Chains A and B, each alone.
Chain A
């Protein structure tokens, strides 16, 4: 009888504790997830920005080279 009583008390205490710990862990998971997600979101535009910048500088270099070669061709065939 005493054993059953103790078991009941232990169980009744352990369930909220477990539930609480589970809530905690699930909260932290969400937070981590959110943090990761937000980090990922934060990282994404930066990565896109970097990629854009790389593309921009590449395309501006290319367009610069295009402009240079176009101008060179023009000035070799015209008085300029």
Chain B
């Protein structure tokens, strides 16, 4: 009787473990970027069999080569300003990038016109994902914001080599080395404004904007991109430290498919 109960319990635990393991999204890597759309989720019927299909068939994918774009400077655009300030964030190694998650009571965000979109996280790519004047820059930082409808707006900031950035060093110093690990109890204060290009007018940022997607699987479209026309700087040593976490974690430029880019430059 006891054996039967134990066997039953073990099988229940095993079944629930398997179902959790099966429900996790399939693994992806930058090496197989060209095939993201064809990655299969075992045991699922079509179309769920291809959870990253949008990466392959989407028409508004990100990143793009900004030099290829027809940049329109005609319409008056929404004023863009950051209201980030200081937070005690969590430092998270996602397995694909180093990421800073804002705390749950953080009230800072990106103001687009009159709407304030809360900042959820920021992360780094090396080299840059967007191409500037046809070239990649050493790195790129993405501030991810999500509005009340679940829509995503990303503020992209190109990173060039130059002056050391102390706020970026705080991120590097507190980032866990192991994939999937988070450092959420450090209590370290991070001034997020210090990550923006030096001399930026936070109340009226100059930007390029276009409709795009997440740059990682599932590459979901409907993301509005705001890319600053100025870059921020980190030192060469800091770039090496960033590369010691993740290197070549940048998706290649995608087809614009007749998208135009607007600017308030």
Contacts and interface: CB of A to CB of B under 8 A. Distances in A.
Interface size class, chain A: 10 to 19
B123 A79 contact: yes
Contacts of B148: 61, 64-65, 68
A66 B152 CA distance: 14
Contacts, number: 46
B150 interface: yes
Interface in B88-137: 92, 94, 96-97, 99, 101, 120-121, 123
Nearest to B125: A79
A78 interface: yes
A67 B149 contact: yes
Contacts of B150: 64, 66-68, 70-71
A46 to B, nearest CB: 28
Contact of A76 (B96, B121, B147, B154): B121
A70 B150 CA distance: 8
Looking at chain B's contact residues, is the secondary structure mostly helix, strand, loop, or mixed? strand
A14 B123 CA distance: 95
Interface residues of B, number: 20
Interface string B208-219: 000000101000
Contacts of B214: 80
A75 interface: yes
B144 interface: yes
A72 to B, nearest CB: 5
Given A76-B101, A79-B97, A79-B99, A64 B121 contact: no
A79 B96 contact: yes
B253 interface: no
B146 interface: yes
A75 B146 contact: yes
Contacts of A75: 120-121, 144, 146, 152
Interface in B138-173: 142, 144, 146-150, 152, 154
Query: What 7 A-B pairs have minimum CB-CB distances, sorted nearest first?
Result: A67-B150, A71-B150, A79-B216, A64-B149, A71-B146, A79-B96, A79-B97
Interface of B: 92, 94, 96-97, 99, 101, 120-121, 123, 142, 144, 146-150, 152, 154, 214, 216
Given A79-B96, A80-B152, 16 more contacts: A61-B148, A64-B148, A64-B149, A64-B150, A68-B146, A68-B147, A68-B150, A70-B150, A71-B150, A72-B120, A75-B120, A78-B216, A79-B94, A79-B97, A80-B121, A80-B142
